[in-house]
Amino acid sequence: MQVFTAFSKGLVLREQMKWQIGDVTVTRVVELSSSSIGNLILPQATVDQIDTIEWIGPFVDEKRRLLMSFHSLIVESLGQTIVVDTCIGNDKSRGYPKWNDLQTDFLSDFAQAGFGISQVDTVLCTHMHVDHVGWSTRKVDEKFVPTFANAKYLYAESEWNHWCEAGDDESTGPVLEDSVKPIFDAGLAKLVDDDHRVNSEVWLEPTPGHTPGHVSVHISSKGEEAIITGDMIHHPCQIAFPEWSTTADYDQNWSRDTRDRFLDKYVDQPVLIIGTHFFGPTAGRIVMDGRKYRLDY
């Protein structure tokens, strides 16, 4: 089942969507959408190449620029309210100008979607990049505090170890300081294995390469399945061209190999693939289209 209401806000069309996987409900809450980032991290996606993908229409603009959505996915399962990735966040100092001291209506949209921040009991971060941990905290009285104060925040231990070893450089230091460290200081962080089970319907699936400890989120209920990709696939064009790794990947070969294995495993299977940055339909099934993969949405 897919329910959506479209409305205009900012640069491009934003949509709220909902999917049902057995007894599990997944709701998308968008922070912002952009046509200015995708081609920076996927320079291979030239107009000529994009024009060879017949099904790509909802995921590019009229100039064939890659559209990307920055959103959280709220998973309701067995009485739990689970937030997967927390976007960019407000009031934060960032090197990327458009995200510096960002001000969006994310929390209002979160409430409009039917969720209160106090009801969230679990936060899952597929990895610790800036656009996946931002709303883990919010500014209160000039201090960043956990947004979801009643939740446990689950991080893959291998991901956390990677960032600890990387140190506080100009790009990662501020992100960890304002969006991750306050979670540990509040005693809400929990380091888990990269195949950790949240419950019998939701578990982590290792998909390394974009970062060493990157995970996707697998959902299974009543014989139906879905996977939330994280940044293992940034944009649907990588389904047609899985060899395209992004400039943001920690290891482009590792990322490509993970993507190849993932597509080979789930092609022509009844598994809904929900893209963490997919604009437009946001979700579909991977099918063969001649000798290439296609997202059937």
Dist. CA 230–CA 162, nearest whole Å: 17
Residue range of the domain that includes 208 = 2-296
Instruction: Report pLDDT for 95.
Output: 85
Instruction: Report pLDDT for 166.
Output: 75
Dist. CA 262–CA 180, nearest whole Å: 29
Instruction: Report yes or no: 26 and 18 within 8 Å, Cβ to Cβ.
Output: yes
| Domains contained in the chain, number | 1
Closest by Cα among 215, 135, 204 to 175: 135
Closest by Cα among 201, 231, 193 to 219: 201
Domain with 255 in it: what CATH number?
3.60.15.10
Per-residue pLDDT of the chain in tens (297 residues, 90 and over written 9): 333 322 223 334 445 699 999 999 999 999 999 999 999 999 999 999 999 999 999 999 999 999 999 999 999 999 999 999 999 999 999 988 899 999 999 999 999 999 999 999 999 999 999 999 999 999 999 999 999 999 999 999 999 999 988 766 656 779 999 999 999 999 999 999 999 999 999 999 999 999 999 999 999 999 999 999 999 999 999 999 999 999 999 999 999 999 999 999 999 999 999 999 999 999 999 999 999 999 999
